[in-house]
Structure 1
Amino acid sequence: MDKKIILVTGATSGLGREEAKAFLTEGHTVVLHGRSREKALAVQKELIAETGNSDVDVLIADLESLAAVKKMAEEFTARYDRLDVLVNNAGNQYGNTRMTTAEGHEKTMAVNLFAPVLLSLLLIESLKKSRHGRIVTVSSASHSQGGRPFIDDIELKDHYSFRRSYGLSKLYVIWAMRRLRKHLTEQGIESIDVNCTHPGMALTNLGNNDQRPLAMKVLYTVGAPFASLMQSAAEGAAPTIYAATSPEVEGFSDRYYGPKGLEKVSERHYSAENEEAVWAYCMRVVGPYLP
């Protein structure tokens, strides 16, 4: 087996925990990212017990902070001489009212777009040291449900809504990862694959915390009896596990994997100009945190 070093963000629950468990079961080394050290260490112990693989490490960072993302990348490179797979799994939804991070960014875009773009860029040198590196970013079928993009208002200062912010953040991260692959080609780097995935309708805790709109909390309560009709977190994690470790996909980029296998991204609002505008905005945001 080609033993890999795999970093999974948002790995203490839901899809991320299932991904980490699968990678450990396959015999890989896994670095778990979480926001809470106490929870991450508890999950670390659980996964060792469940898989029998003790090659599991922990990194702590609040992805709402780009400074914390940079610190996490620095901690990783100090501990490991290479990275084989980066799984940008972490994501979040917020409320009906627009909220900003301490650094001044709309929270949904900060976690779902800026953080994975920054972390990917910061770990390129580590990925280059792999025999063949991979970046896998978890998007969502909701990328087609955010409505018309506001390219001149990416952080939605004037157009915020719960649905729009989440849907557009998941659309923009697909565009940004496509543009990242082009950026790598421009740098002469062909040994890193960049792909996106989505979990389908998976049963996770993403829509069920105190910051969510009341309508979503009600939906989770009313829908609880129908949970058996949804995919489990393990089933939802399957496309990402496949994209991260399957030898069948090595050498391919700009793909979008879901529960049905290779799927199509909604291109209704895509243009090369829109993709470039989103990338340029991301670069302005993350630029101060790059070497």
Structure 2
Amino acid sequence: MTHTTHRILVTGSADGLGRAAAQSLLSAGHEVVVHARNRKRAADLGPLLEQGAGIVVGDFADRDAVRRIAEELNAAQPLHAVIHNAGVWSGPAVMPVNIVAPYLLTALLPAPRRLVYLSSGSHFGGHPHSSLAGIDWRGEHAGSYADSKLFVTALAAAVARLRSGVMSNAVDPGWVPTRMGGPNAPDDLELGHRTQEWLASSDDPQALTSGGYWYHRQRQEPHEAVHDHVFQDRLLQALAHETGVRL
């Protein structure tokens, strides 16, 4: 059961799992900041704004937009938690949106004590032994979705290791029937957003842990590279070099 009201950012909340999480958290009495890629998408969030949600707008494929959003958030009331929900399945924006933006926000937002990163069962198909220097971080070509999800899962574990006092976890929401997942996806849409809400807001002792990879509130074992400190450090170094921002 949640006992405390928190201020929580949910990225990628114009539809799908992000919108469901934002709506649920608002209904539970939390202060929620929603995020949309552009003004057109932001207009779809009107019902949540009418319920009191705040909003930030910016394309996570654009690093300057991510930096501007971070500045805007740092100038406002401190965030207690961030649910890094925004993601794309294919195309040039895979790496910029799925890993570079979460890394930048993590590096530029020092206040949140709870960080939840959306992973995927696809991360097991990622390639940790590929040269990180050869990754298309800027999205000039299509990147591997599986690689991006392996990287963001490893980022969650690295933050848990390196940031004392921060609870950082990754969540596999399952293959759910969202716009990205498609109408025939077999997993439960309701269960798909509950775990990240729980980790971001609950006082349940299990939720007050760090470094986990979760599926429907059950802690699972991720790809073996996720908890490899050498791989984590290589990933962080590559992202720091690419963005000019160290974690």
State the TM bucket, normalised to the shorter chain: 0.7 to 0.9
TM-score, normalization: structure 2?
Answer: 0.88
Give the superposition deviation at 1:270.
6.0
* Matched-pair contact (CA < 8 Å) for 2:114–2:200: yes
Give the number of aligned pairs.
Answer: 242
Give the superposition deviation at 1:57.
0.9
- Name the amino acid aligned to 1:197: V
2:60 alignment partner in structure 1: 63
1:195 alignment partner in structure 2: 169
Give the superposition deviation at 1:241.
1.4
- Name the amino acid aligned to 1:174: T
Give the superposition deviation at 1:183.
2.6
**CA gap 1:245/1:153 in 2 versus in 1, 3 angstroms:** same
Note the residue ranges of structure 2 that are not aligned, 5 or more in a row.
none
Aligned-residue identity in percent: 27
Select the residue among 137, 142, 145 that pairs with 2:125: 145
- Name the amino acid aligned to 2:83: V
1:172 alignment partner in structure 2: 151
- Name the amino acid aligned to 2:131: I
Give the superposition deviation at 1:287.
2.3
* Matched-pair contact (CA < 8 Å) for 1:136–1:196: yes
**CA gap 1:280/1:268 in 2 versus in 1, 3 angstroms:** closer
1:136 has 2:116 as partner: yes
Q: Deviations over 1:244-265 (max 9, x none)?
A: 1121235411011112622221
1:181 has 2:160 as partner: yes
**CA gap 1:273/1:235 in 2 versus in 1, 3 angstroms:** same
Give the superposition deviation at 1:195.
0.7
Could you list the structure 1 runs, at least 4 aligned residues long, displaced by more than 6 angstroms after superposition.
none
1:285 alignment partner in structure 2: 242
**CA gap 1:73/1:118 in 2 versus in 1, 3 angstroms:** same
1:103 alignment partner in structure 2: none
Q: Deviations over 1:91-118 (max 9, x none)?
A: 11224xxx3xxxxxxx322111111011
Give the superposition deviation at 1:36.
2.1
TM-score, normalization: structure 1?
Answer: 0.75
The structure with more radius of gyration: 1
The whole-number CA distance in structure 2 between the counterparts of 1:48 and 1:71 is: 21
1:78 alignment partner in structure 2: 75
Select the residue among 258, 261, 277 that pairs with 2:218: 261
**CA gap 1:273/1:115 in 2 versus in 1, 3 angstroms:** same
Q: How does 1:9-88 map to 2 (within 5 A)?
A: 9-43=11-45, 45-47=46-48, 54-80=51-77, 82-88=78-84
Q: SS of 2:75's equivalent? A: helix
Select the residue among 226, 238, 243 that pairs with 2:199: 243
